[in-house]
Amino acid sequence: MKTVLGGAEIIPLCARLIQEGEVVGFPTETVYGLGADALNEEAVRKIYLAKGRPSDNPLIVHVPNVEEARKAAEVSPLAEKLFSVFSPGPLTIVLPKKDKIPYTVTAGLDTVGIRIPSHPIARAFLEACKTPVAAPSANLSKRVSPTTADAVFDDMNGRVPAIIDGGPCSVGIESTVLSLVGDPTILRPGGITEEMLRPYLPTVKLFSGKVKVAPAPGMKYKHYAPIVPCILYGSVRGAEREYVEWTGMGKKAVILSRKKNVPYWEEKGFSYMNVGDSGEEFASNIFRLLRYCEKLFDVILVEKPGSGGIENSLMDRLAKSCGGKTVE
């Protein structure tokens, strides 16, 4: 299959492909998605095939507005309120599903995750599709989520008919998945933080523990992991020791450093990449840099994010990328 890669001008073509039951890569503000008509089970099965993903992991349904969300799920007044405050944006709310959403999308669950993305191309694309679009992140299963169209192309060339290029994703890590079925629970921390939700959900808690069904990424499957070892470091001294050890064995190491520590690595003459200054910059750069570095280096040393806000969500992803490996 030949994969067409184009900008906003291919939105009409891609909307038609969706209506014909095909799978399309498209940008959102979080990460790129791999979309199909959520009402067409055959089309949804093609997503799992393209990703090489087990079909027991539920997909998020993307819609352009709350009115369309109501057609896919039971939108409670609380959910309505949260959508009005945080959407369009990086928040997915898990709600009881309507009958028209097939179990192929929800992996057999009676609930569905609904998201209204804010990326202008995602919005135009969803409007043009005129059907809800089920989409996971557009990476091959177990790989780092793509935050550029090139990264999607790397994983999906020849596997999907088209990819829409909307530039680099601004948030850079996946949406917050919030369940409002039962006690409000954050199943996956993301762009909308616990602190941001708390004024509306005083009792909201972060999911911890074991899941049997409905895993959020990383709970059941290995996610976000580069193809080379990745290690979190808590101090420049720890990173330096690790770097010297790897390079001493003839391996190529790279340090993903916060901007303030860049002069330190510069002075040492070590290989490094700047992840940025704020937590927001760090999040928007991290997946792109991991994908870039895994091609060029044998080990990636990543500066540990701080705590609070988006840095908690970053830590969640990086703990998985590094498989828990840390040096202090």
User: Would you say 34 or 164 has its CB closer to Mg ion?
Assistant: 34
Smallest distance, ligand TXA to C-beta of residue 10, A: 18
Q: Give the H or E element holding residue 300.
A: strand 299-303
User: Would you say 164 or 255 has its CB closer to ligand TXA?
Assistant: 164
Rounded Cα–Cα distance for residues 243 and 237 (Å): 10
The partner in contact with residue 64, picked from ligand TXA, Mg ion, none with C-beta cut-offs of 5 to 8 angstroms by kind, is: none
User: Would you say 59 or 314 has its CB closer to ligand TXA?
Assistant: 59
Query: Scanning residues 123 to 152, which ones bind Mg ion (CB under 5 A)?
Result: 137
Query: Per CB under 5 A, does 321 bind Mg ion?
Result: no
Piece of the chain touching Mg ion by CB under 5 A; list 34-42, 152-160, 210-218, 314-322: 210-218
Question: Can you give 44-91 as a three-state secondary structure string?
Answer: HHHHHHHHCCCCCCCCEEECCCHHHHHHHECCCHHHHHHHHHHCCCCE
Rounded Cα–Cα distance for residues 149 and 281 (Å): 19
User: Would you say 273 or 279 has its CB closer to ligand TXA?
Assistant: 279
Contact 223, 217 (CB under 8 A): yes
Contact 128, 121 (CB under 8 A): no
The partner in contact with residue 27, picked from Mg ion, ligand TXA, none with C-beta cut-offs of 5 to 8 angstroms by kind, is: none
The partner in contact with residue 132, picked from Mg ion, ligand TXA, none with C-beta cut-offs of 5 to 8 angstroms by kind, is: none
User: Would you say 15 or 38 has its CB closer to Mg ion?
Assistant: 38
Which residue is nearest to Mg ion, using beta carbons? 137
The partner in contact with residue 28, picked from ligand TXA, Mg ion, none with C-beta cut-offs of 5 to 8 angstroms by kind, is: ligand TXA
Residues that bind ligand TXA (CB under 6 A): 28, 30-31, 33, 57-60, 92, 94, 106, 109, 111-113, 115, 135-137, 174-175, 177, 187, 214-217
Q: Which of 101, 39, 43 is nearest to 73 (CA)?
A: 101
> How many CB atoms are located within 10 Å of the residue 76 CB?
14
Rounded Cα–Cα distance for residues 199 and 259 (Å): 32
Q: Which of 250, 223, 237 is nearest to 301 (CA)?
A: 237
User: Would you say 258 or 288 has its CB closer to Mg ion?
Assistant: 288
How many Å from the N-terminal Cα to the C-terminal Cα in the chain? 47
Contact 50, 160 (CB under 8 A): yes
Name the DSSP letter for residue 219: T
Rounded Cα–Cα distance for residues 178 and 198 (Å): 12
Piece of the chain touching Mg ion by CB under 5 A; list 1-9, 118-126, 217-225, 253-261: 217-225
Smallest distance, ligand TXA to C-beta of residue 206, A: 14
Joined tokens for residue 141: 């299963």
The partner in contact with residue 33, picked from ligand TXA, Mg ion, none with C-beta cut-offs of 5 to 8 angstroms by kind, is: ligand TXA
Smallest distance, Mg ion to C-beta of residue 137, A: 3
The partner in contact with residue 274, picked from Mg ion, ligand TXA, none with C-beta cut-offs of 5 to 8 angstroms by kind, is: none
The partner in contact with residue 92, picked from Mg ion, ligand TXA, none with C-beta cut-offs of 5 to 8 angstroms by kind, is: ligand TXA
Considering just the CA atoms, what is the radius of gyration of the chain in Å? 20
Which residues contribute to the site for Mg ion (CB under 5 A)? 137, 217
